Amino acid sequence: MGEWGSLLAPWQWAIMAALPVLLVLLYFLKLKRQPVEVPSTYLWKKSIEDLHVNSIWQRLRRNLLLFLQLMVLLLAILALLIPYWGEGTTSGERYIFLVDNSASMSANDVAPSRLAAAKSQLNRFLEEQKRPQDAVMIISFSDTARVVQEFTTSAAECLAALERIQPTSRRTSINDALSYAAGLVNTTRASDVPEDEQAPEPLSAKLWILSDGNFTAPSFPLGNLEASYVPLGQSDVENLAIVAFSASRPDDRSEQLQIFGRVENHGREDRTTLAQLFVDGQPVDVQQVEVPAGKSAGVVFNLRQAETAVLEMRLDVDDALAADNAAWAVINPPRRGKVLLVTPGNRPLEFALQTPRAQAIADLLIESPDFLSTEEYRQAALAGLFDLIIYDRCLPEPAAGSTDALTPMPQSNCWFIGLPPKLPEWGWKPGAAWPPNKVVGPQIIDLERAHPIMQLLDVERLLIAQATVLTPPSGSVTLMDAIALQAAEGNGEPQRVEVPVFAIAPRRGYEDAVLAFEIISDDGSANTDWIKRRSFAVMVLNVLQYLAGGPNQGGAESLRPGQPVELQVATAGEQVTVVTPTGREVTVPRSPGNIFRCLDTDELGVYDVRSEGNTVERFAVNLFDSQESNLKPRAELDFEWNKVQATADTRPQPRAGWKILLLAALFVLLFEWYIYNRRVYL
Amino acid sequence: MPTDAPLLSPSFLAQLERLELVTRKVFRGRMKGERRSKRKGQSVEFADFRNYVPGDDLRFIDWNTYARLDRLFLKMFLEEEDLHFYALIDASRSMDFGNPTKLHYAKQLAAALGFVGLVRADRVRIETLGSAGTRPGPTLRGRASVWRMLDYLDQVQPGDGVPLAKGVRDFCLRNKGQGVVVLISDLLDKAGYEEALRYLVARQMDTYVIQVFSQEELDPDLVGDLKLVDSEDGDIAEITVSAPLLKRYKETLDAFVGSVREFCGRRGMTHILAHNQLPPEQLVVNYLRRRGLVR
């Protein structure tokens, strides 16, 4: 029970206190006596003489009606006060409102939209229930959370903040919002020292979640947050949604474009609808989709398609959520990678890099190791002009010419053949001999077949003469493992050791692959019989596709709303312009590594990336979220630690005592009426 | 029973025809009537003998006795006389309550008793109290005067307040004769009823006091906080109706009626309590007959 003594302003208390006094005064003043003419007051006077003799207080004491009326009045006053009983504190209550503005909140099953309904609920709270000393904080959340209003006691600020909450097309994740709220309330990072008086007191707050609950409730201890959940939306809402839409070229028919879409029915009834396909805004095909209730169905379009196109699929339905009735996919022009091969001479590799398939992927530039010491190389390596640099039995030279220094790594992916880079991660120590120890006759025992580079490779009984001992850095993937003979120190017997012979490791946004054995030795002889096998060319192609950024065979991957996109655009300019689906232009500056990072991807649809006025690339942003499209509001939120049941709205639930008091007042009133009419005396 | 109903219904009249007024006292009448008088005189009803003294009317000497005893005796007869019947109606404003009003009820009683008197050749006089300016009612005699009596009663309206005692005193001053007087009133006078009744006692009249209340007075149907206004003097009594108050009222009423009855009993008067819901037929035929006013 909290204090409710200070809930009312003094003048309000005065009014409350004055009411019973007023009632008693009315009794004294007898203001409302009704005149009745009687034959004679003679007998009445005689009758009331006895009552008059007693003092006025005694008279009052005998007046049961007055006491009953006073009782009704007091009960009514109490009933008025009780709703705030135990909820109010002298310092005011703290309220935190989490307002969901994810895509599903744009559903119009509650007119005009669920978000508008949430706002009006909050609005009503601010105007009707918020007491002046209550502090309110408003956080909007979709896949991220945003504090739109810090704790404030000003209702006007809150109302202004409410206007700032706009619907988004994003997914829902309440985690951030809960963390914000809990961070302000639960002092988990309080001082370890129990006597520390600086440690903040944990403060409780009321947490209102205004949402449709269409998110995976995280396991979250609410602590001092007294959570309530106001579900928005109707449970019998109908919604058809496109949850997947992509285009790909089948391997066997590369001129064909296979377009695949998936439609889910989140309603209660089976639905049949038309799926229309648009290419560059023109309708080209239409199919009928039959989606049973609660199930999904696929749509496949086959198209002879030009190099670049914007594909759009629309469902011909009118349902609660419009955002998931259209989906977009983009076929971008193929972008060729740039590969620099630095080699003293390696014909099999050069040959493998110049097959028609390889040429389709990347342009090849072959240089001798001398090129590494030129200024031209340094510039190109620094600017990241190449997607992949292959160092065959050579390493880029340190700038100052000191051989002990680290290998300067270029701003691109690298493939080292026969010689790992002089980096501490790869086992290099200052002053140590390089390359490190060698092993003889490694036999491949294991392949990491899941890695794209290792796909479709047949390396059975591969013969390798010599290999360098690799110490791959942490975080690397060993692509090939082998057992080899290592010469013992001194004159002992050679030992069989397991060594990695092909590994790939990430390096600040790039990846370095290291092949531990040479392909062609310096003397021109082959170090392995791999070059005679078909799998060698396949491996080289895999490396090209993986490290040189081979062209997308199908459409570009779809992005989710709000997801940042990294654009690799071949442009000389320092910035590109991204045109959003609504025609807004966003200027994106060049980031290090020849990358343009665009964060403004909140709108659904196709974004144009323009450089110097020409469209150089496109990407599509789609909702594609089954959870968002499932509009049925949840009945409760399960935070694992706490279950939050749905409540109708933000009004405080009347306490049981409130009803009982009013009922008691009613009974007393009835009793009073009975006594008044029947003139019973107890 | 509505207030504007005829005072006497034919069936009631038929009942009244068989009745006659009785008085416990024998008064001297002024005219010959159908009633025995104290005065012995000429009539058919023998009363007594007495010795002859010179000067007596020889016509009344009983010659048969003279023949037997040789002494002269005078035969005396009971003279039959008329009876003076007075009905006093309290026409103060307090009587103008109830349905029918107490006044109407009082008029009915007066008419019924007056009719009995007229039929039996008594002298009947009906007077009202309370209306100072109204002329006193005529003295009526004989069956033919029934309509005059009823006419007079019709004129009686509730008048201005005159204290009960003053009204009765005026009545006594106006009417010297003795007889039967029936006072029909509620006796609700703040100055008290005792003085008024004492006047009647002093005249040695055969007094009947019919105290009339309305049903509302006997069992008040009041609710709530009220300001009671006296109909006669505008006096105000503020009450909050409650069970104890009503109980107290009834106790007071009983005490009041009891005190009147005791007062009358001690002084040889007859007190009869009536209320406006009691049919006048029943009151006259049953109650008054039992109390000896009619026979």
Distance CA A170, CA B153 (A): 103
Nearest to A41 among B186, B214, B230 (CB): B230
Please tell me the distance in Å from B205's CA to the nearest CA on chain A: 28
Partner residues linked to B206 by β-bridges: B180
> Among the listed ranges B32-41, B53-62, B275-284, which one has the minimum average pLDDT value?
B32-41
B contact set with A (CB within 8 A): 93-97, 102, 186, 188-190, 214, 216-217, 222-232, 235-246, 248-249, 251-253, 256
Strand, helix or coil at A78? helix
CB proximity A40 to B under 8 Å: yes
pLDDT at A437: 81
Please tell me the distance in Å from B242's CA to the nearest CA on chain A: 5
Residue type, A657: G
pLDDT at B211: 92
Terminal CA-CA length for chain A: 36
pLDDT at A551: 44
Name the residue in chain B with its Cα closest to that of A64: B242
Q: What is the pLDDT of residues A381-431, one digit of tens each?
A: 887 788 899 999 888 877 655 555 677 888 888 999 988 888 888 888 877
Whether residue A501 contacts residue A438, with contact meaning beta carbons closer than 8 Å, is answered with no
Write down the number of H helices and E strands in chain A: 13, 30
Nearest to B252 among A43, A63, A677 (CB): A43
Strand, helix or coil at A4? coil
pLDDT at A417: 92
Q: In 10 A of CB A342, how many CB atoms?
A: 22
DSSP string, A230-252: EE-S-TT---EEEEEEEEE--SS
DSSP string, B122-135: -EEEEEEES-TTSP
Mean residue pLDDT of chain A comes to 80
DSSP-derived secondary structure letter, B23: -
Which sign, positive or negative, has the C-alpha torsion A183, A189, A194, A200? Answer: negative
**pLDDT confidence of A570, banded at 50, 70, 90?**
low
Nearest to B217 among A37, A39, A64 (CB): A39
Q: What angle do CA A377, A378, A382 make, to 5 degrees?
A: 115
> Among the listed ranges A76-85, A323-332, A403-412, A492-501, which one has the minimum average pLDDT value?
A76-85
Q: What is the pLDDT of residues A440-452, one digit of tens each?
A: 889 998 888 888 8
Classify burial at A266, counting beta carbons within 10 Å of its beta carbon; exposed 0-12, middle 13-18, buried 19 or more.
Answer: buried
Whether residue A274 contacts residue A639, with contact meaning beta carbons closer than 8 Å, is answered with no
Q: What is the pLDDT of residues A102-138, one digit of tens each?
A: 888 888 888 788 889 888 888 888 877 777 778 888 9
Q: Does the structure show a pLDDT above 70 at A552?
A: no
Of B101, B133, B120, B100, nearest to B36 by C-alpha is B120
| Percent of chain A whose predicted confidence (pLDDT) is above 70 | 84
| Percent of chain A whose predicted confidence (pLDDT) is above 90 | 6
Neighboring chain A residues of B224 at a CB cutoff of 8 Å: 34, 676
pLDDT at B257: 92
Residue type, A558: S
Alpha-carbon Rg for chain A in angstroms: 39
> Among the listed ranges A143-157, A448-462, A637-651, B28-42, which one has the minimum average pLDDT value?
B28-42
Whether residue B22 contacts residue B121, with contact meaning beta carbons closer than 8 Å, is answered with no
Q: Does the structure show a pLDDT above 90 at B231?
A: no
Whether residue A515 contacts residue A531, with contact meaning beta carbons closer than 8 Å, is answered with no
Distance CA A668, CA B269 (A): 53
Nearest to B97 among A30, A39, A63 (CB): A39
Please tell me the distance in Å from B229's CA to the nearest CA on chain A: 5
Partner residues linked to A311 by β-bridges: A279, A329
Q: In 10 A of CB B71, how many CB atoms?
A: 9
DSSP-derived secondary structure letter, A143: S
| Residue A670, token pair as written in the block | 């009835």
Alpha-carbon Rg for chain B in angstroms: 23
Interface touch B217/A43, C-beta < 8 Å: yes
Q: What is the dihedral of CA A556, A558, A562, A564, to 10 degrees?
A: -30
Q: Does the structure show a pLDDT above 60 at A188?
A: no
Neighboring chain A residues of B240 at a CB cutoff of 8 Å: 63, 65
Q: What is the pLDDT of residues B84-100, one digit of tens each?
A: 888 888 888 888 888 88
Write down the number of H helices and E strands in chain B: 10, 11
Q: Does the structure show a pLDDT above 50 at A554?
A: no
Of A127, A49, A143, A129, nearest to A84 by C-alpha is A129
pLDDT at A142: 87
pLDDT at B36: 57
Q: What is the pLDDT of residues B259-282, one digit of tens each?
A: 999 999 988 888 989 988 888 888
Q: Does the structure show a pLDDT above 90 at A595?
A: no
pLDDT at A556: 60
Cα separations (Å) of A641 from A177, A550, A634?
17, 48, 17
Whether residue A610 contacts residue A624, with contact meaning beta carbons closer than 8 Å, is answered with no
Cα separations (Å) of A136 from A133, A146, A158, A159, A261?
10, 15, 7, 11, 45
Terminal CA-CA length for chain B: 26
CB proximity A58 to B under 8 Å: no
Interface touch B242/A46, C-beta < 8 Å: no
Q: Does the structure show a pLDDT above 50 at A86?
A: no
Whether residue B214 contacts residue B102, with contact meaning beta carbons closer than 8 Å, is answered with yes
Q: In 10 A of CB A17, how many CB atoms?
A: 11
Whether residue B21 contacts residue B122, with contact meaning beta carbons closer than 8 Å, is answered with yes
DSSP string, A279-323: ETTEEEEEEEEEE-TT-EEEEEEEEE--S-EEEEEEE----S-SG
Q: What is the pLDDT of residues A322-352, one digit of tens each?
A: 888 899 888 776 667 889 999 998 899 999 9
Residue type, A109: D
Q: For residues B105-113, give the mean pLDDT.
A: 89
CB proximity A674 to B under 8 Å: no
ipTM of the complex: 0.78
Q: Does the structure show a pLDDT above 70 at A34?
A: yes
Please tell me the distance in Å from A27's CA to the nearest CA on chain B: 9
Given phi > 0 = left and psi -120 to 50 = alpha, else beta, which region is B273?
A: beta
Interface touch A39/B94, C-beta < 8 Å: yes
Segments in B23-159 forming alpha helices (H): 63-69, 102-119, 146-155
| Residue A457 or residue B41, greater confidence | A457
Classify burial at A207, counting beta carbons within 10 Å of its beta carbon; exposed 0-12, middle 13-18, buried 19 or more.
Answer: buried
| Residue B65 or residue A190, greater confidence | B65
Q: What angle do CA B212, B215, B218 make, to 5 degrees?
A: 80
Q: What is the pLDDT of residues B142-194, one digit of tens each?
A: 888 888 888 888 888 887 657 888 888 888 888 777 788 899 988 888 888 88
Whether residue A171 contacts residue A602, with contact meaning beta carbons closer than 8 Å, is answered with no
Q: What is the pLDDT of residues A165-175, one digit of tens each?
A: 888 888 888 88
> Among the listed ranges A28-32, A540-544, B52-56, B236-240, which one has the minimum average pLDDT value?
A28-32
Distance CA B251, CA B257 (A): 10
Q: Does the structure show a pLDDT above 50 at A152?
A: yes
pLDDT at A682: 42
CB proximity A63 to B under 8 Å: yes
Strand, helix or coil at B192? coil
Cα separations (Å) of A441 from A418, A468, A529?
14, 11, 12
Nearest to A676 among B224, B238, B251 (CB): B224
pLDDT at B31: 57
DSSP string, B197-255: HHHHHHTT-EEEEEEEE-HHHHS----SEEEEEETTT--EEEEE--HHHHHHHHHHHHH
Mutate to test the interface with B, among A31, A38, A61, A677 (most CBs of B within 10 A): A38
| Residue A459, token pair as written in the block | 């390396």
Whether residue A98 contacts residue A147, with contact meaning beta carbons closer than 8 Å, is answered with no
Interface touch B237/A51, C-beta < 8 Å: no
Q: What is the pLDDT of residues A460-488, one digit of tens each?
A: 888 899 898 888 888 888 999 999 888 77
pLDDT at A515: 92
Distance CA A160, CA A126 (A): 11
CB proximity A676 to B under 8 Å: yes
Strands A510-515 and A413-417: parallel
Mean residue pLDDT of chain B comes to 81
DSSP-derived secondary structure letter, A459: -
pLDDT at A390: 93
Neighboring chain B residues of A44 at a CB cutoff of 8 Å: 228, 237, 239, 249
pTM greater than the 0.90 cutoff? no
